[in-house]
Amino acid sequence: MNETGSPIIFHGVNIYFNKLAALDDVSLEFQRGKSTAVIGSSGSGKSLVLKCAAGLIFPDEGSITFEETDIASMKETHYQQMQARTGFHFQDAALWANKSLGENLSLPLLSTNPDYTNIDLKDKVAESFASVGLNLDPSLRPASISMGQRKLVSFLRATITRPEILFLDDPLAFMDREGSRQLMAKIEQFRDEGATIIMATHDSHLIKNMTDRIMVLSHGRLTASGAYQDVLPHLRELV
Amino acid sequence: MIETIGFHVRQSFKQISYAAGFQLFLFKETFNFLSRRRIGLKVLIMQILFTGVEALSIISLLSLGIGAVIIVQGAQLPDFLLGDQLYRILIIVITRELGPLLTAFVIIARSGSAITTELGNMVVSHEMEAYLSVGIHPVSQLGVPRLIGVSLSMVLLTMYSNVFGLLGSLTVSSIITGVRLTDQMSALFSNFHMIDIITSVAKSFIFGLIIAATSVYYGFSVSAAVTEVPVKTIRSIGMSIVLCIIADGLIILITVLLGASFL
């Protein structure tokens, strides 16, 4: 296994929606232990890049490899192992509406270790809520809390198993100032612990202060890539 | 023209291959379900509660009413209510045919449509992707418990429907002929054959599998828009009804070919 290189590599990826290219011949690499921001205007394909990298959507053409294995042709157990090592924070939270907040956080834990007892799960959920200052009853359903709170719970769901690679799809959307502050502190903590962070964002603070590398997308094509200073001309138009 | 036909043929072939692959995966995962301990168990319990338990009142009311109507209509025929033939007719009509089919239609309308709608909405709100992101296949987590839950509930509800259908018939027959209900019941039991029960259980189980597999498939086939959900739900209901009727015909044919006694 390549411990320092690129765990996820895109090789000429094309994705079409109704015959239109949503991703057009995208080739890129995400560096291990680095924080990368994927930026671009709305509809440029940022979320799609994240979902493809996380193995949630497969390309129509080209391939995406996770540690040198093509994700689309992975065996089920290998795919599950990959997912156990990654976490995905969705733009619209995507909490399971028919499950309680506690169950939303317990399921990823049970998926990685079915031996957790109910007491273990309860403790982990309480600990997780406390880590972002959420004072919520875990038996509540997602519909009964605000969108900002849902986003925080969604972040906790993505990170409760301490993944090595964290995908953040517009993490600060719908968040108030206090929620954003807490979320950024948690993202920073993960970055400092050496996690690979891949995020789609418009937030200038995140882009400037929390990313090692920036990739710019336009109409599904990768138009620029590099450090903050290198892509500054593109950023002025987008952020 | 030829190009358009070719395109549609290719699309249809793709759809059929995808549907077949999906069903194979669903059934394969069903065998793995018992080895996965806690994940999906709650979904199974909720499905049995919704499909099996909450439908009891409507099934009993419908079966009781239809059982009674068979006798009211049949009583207009000469000698219909006289002799053991009445009991065989009731057993064949209610236990072998009406019970499984009536229950299937109620389950299609109630649970099949609910499954397609719920799963379709989950696709739209990215909840399926969220399952994938935590290493759980949504078909295993959501499809398999529904397949098992609906199939088991179908068998139990069909038995329940049979009991109420026969009870409705015998009660009305007892009122019309003046023969005591208990005497009618013992005569009915003495006319029961094992093949009646086997046919009823087999049909209800197969209908359950068809309804669940079809509803789950259409739920997962929603791609992105909320507007697709009602369209897929309508297709799921129509397809479930058609497949259940085809399966019913095939089971009757198999029973006849195997030489099972109908009367």
Asked if residue B75 has pLDDT above 90, the reply is: no
Are A97 and B134 within 8 A, CB to CB? no
Minimum mean pLDDT among A147-151, A175-179, B229-233, B246-250: which range?
A175-179
Q: Residues A11, A65: contact at Cβ < 8 Å?
A: yes
Share of residues in chain B with pLDDT > 90 (%): 59
**pLDDT confidence of residue A66:** 94
**pLDDT confidence of residue A209:** 84
- Contact pairs from chain A to chain B, CB under 8 Å: 62
What residue of B is the nearest CA neighbor of A84?
B135
Are B130 and A96 within 8 A, CB to CB? yes
Q: Residues A52, A30: contact at Cβ < 8 Å?
A: no
Residue-wise pLDDT tens digits, B159-214: 999 999 999 999 999 998 888 999 989 999 998 888 899 999 999 999 999 999 99
Asked if residue A171 has pLDDT above 60, the reply is: yes
**pLDDT confidence of residue B32:** 79
Asked if residue B119 has pLDDT above 60, the reply is: yes
**pLDDT confidence of residue A47:** 94
Token pair in block for residue A174: 């719908």
CA-based nearest distance B37→chain A, Å: 7
For residues A1 and A153, which has the higher predicted lDDT (pLDDT)? A153
Stated as kind and residue range, the H or E segment containing A16 is strand A8-17
Cβ-in-10-Å burial (0-12, 13-18, 19+) of B23 comes to: middle
d(CA A111, CA A81): 10
Residue-wise pLDDT tens digits, A184-213: 999 999 999 999 999 999 888 888 888 999
This prediction has a pTM of 0.87
**pLDDT confidence of residue B39:** 66
Q: Residues A65, A40: contact at Cβ < 8 Å?
A: no
Give residue B53's pLDDT band: very low, low, confident or very high (50, 70, 90). confident
- B contact set with A (CB within 8 A): 36-39, 118, 122, 125-127, 129-137
**pLDDT confidence of residue A82:** 93
Tell me which residue in B37, B127, B135 faces A112 most closely, judged by beta carbons: B135
Query: What residue type is A235 in one-letter code?
Result: L
**Contacts of residue A98 in chain B, CB cutoff 8 Å?**
118
Average pLDDT, chain B: 89
**Contacts of residue A55 in chain B, CB cutoff 8 Å?**
132
**pLDDT confidence of residue B263:** 43
Q: Residues B211, B150: contact at Cβ < 8 Å?
A: yes
Query: What residue type is A239 in one-letter code?
Result: V
**pLDDT confidence of residue B261:** 53
Share of residues in chain B with pLDDT > 70 (%): 97
Residue-wise pLDDT tens digits, B122-139: 999 999 999 999 999 899
Q: Residues B90, B169: contact at Cβ < 8 Å?
A: yes
**pLDDT confidence of residue A43:** 87
Best to test chain A binding among B133, B139, B226 (most A CBs inside 10 Å):
B133
d(CA A151, CA A171): 8
**pLDDT confidence of residue A2:** 46
Mean pLDDT of B224-237: 94
Asked if residue B225 has pLDDT above 50, the reply is: yes
Asked if residue A177 has pLDDT above 90, the reply is: no
CB contacts under 8 A, A 3-62 vs B, are 51, 54-56
Give residue A1's pLDDT band: very low, low, confident or very high (50, 70, 90). very low
Check residue A142 and report its DSSP letter: G
Are A157 and B134 within 8 A, CB to CB? yes
Q: By 3-state DSSP, what share of chain B in percent is helix, strand and coil, each rounded to 5? A: 85, 0, 15
